[in-house]
Amino acid sequence: DAGITQSPRYKITETGRQVTLMCHQTWSHSYMFWYRQDLGHGLRLIYYSAAADITDKGEVPDGYVVSRSKTENFPLTLESATRSQTSVYFCASTGTGEVYNTEAFFGQGTRLTVV
Amino acid sequence: TQLLEQSPQFLSIQEGENLTVYCNSSSVFSSLQWYRQEPGEGPVLLVTVVTGGEVKKLKRLTFQFGDARKDSSLHITAAQPGDTGLYLCAGLLSNSGYALNFGKGTSLLVTP
């Protein structure tokens, strides 16, 4: 199916465990993003990537690792999960048209609970 | 640091009423976008405004970009229950490439 898909949709993990959230897009968009959404904070940027093998930190990168070996995939890894990382995580992608007029396409989100 | 301040945070109105949501900042944006998010889904783009003073209409929704490109508003005329959702403004800074800065959102509930 065309679009941007995230997996899993729901995940419960224990404190200290490593967990990877997957993101796959079929448009060959250059830019991909990871956001977390929390009550009272809105959407905050964790990491983003301009192309394969190019990644950069966003507003809240601590405790997260990303990689982008292929254009279509952008996994997000929590190296040692903490309760403060309980959140809803959204992956998004954009094309590279005029930068001020590009639309971000979002996945359906992964609800992560760290217990 | 939240660059974009949205108000109000919550809004509960009855069908047929009008409402306005505000998005303010001290920063100048290359463009400003409005997204709508339904429960359990990701945000979906409603509109992009680029030029200072620009007004765009989408059926009963009117979007305005401030003259100085620091603020925006969303006005809904004759709200309907189908308008219920979370409305998010997001801005692009000239030096941030394609990374959007989001406001905290306005949660709108329209009751019949």
pLDDT tens per residue, range B22-43: 999 999 998 899 999 999 999 9
What residue in B sits closest to A91 (Cα-Cα)? B42
Q: Whole-angstrom Cα distance, residue B34 to residue B89?
A: 5
Q: Whole-angstrom Cα distance, residue B80 to residue B111?
A: 8
Q: Sorting pLDDT into bands at 50, 70 and 90, what band is A97?
A: low
Within 8 A of A99 by CB-CB distance, chain B residues are: 30, 92, 97-98
Least CB–CB distance from A99: residue in B42, B97, B104:
B97
Residues 44-103 of B with CB under 8 A from A: 44-45, 48, 50, 88, 90, 92, 97-103
Q: What are the residue ranges spanned by the domains of chain A?
A: 6-114
Q: How many domains does chain B have?
A: 1
- Model confidence at A1: pLDDT above 70: no
Least CB–CB distance from B48: residue in A43, A58, A101:
A101
Distance from CA of A110 to the nearest CA of B (A): 9
Domain of residue B38 covers 5-111
pLDDT tens per residue, range B58-95: 999 999 999 999 999 999 999 999 999 999 999 987 77
What residue in B sits closest to A89 (Cα-Cα)? B42
Q: Which of A24, A23, A70, A78 is nearest to A51 (CA)?
A: A70
**Beta strand residue intervals within chain A, DSSP E:** 4-7, 10-13, 19-25, 31-38, 42-51, 54-57, 64-66, 76-78, 87-94, 105-106, 110-114
A69 touches chain B (CB under 8 A): no
CATH T-level fold of A6-114: Immunoglobulin-like (2.60.40)
The CATH number assigned to the domain holding B18 equals 2.60.40.10
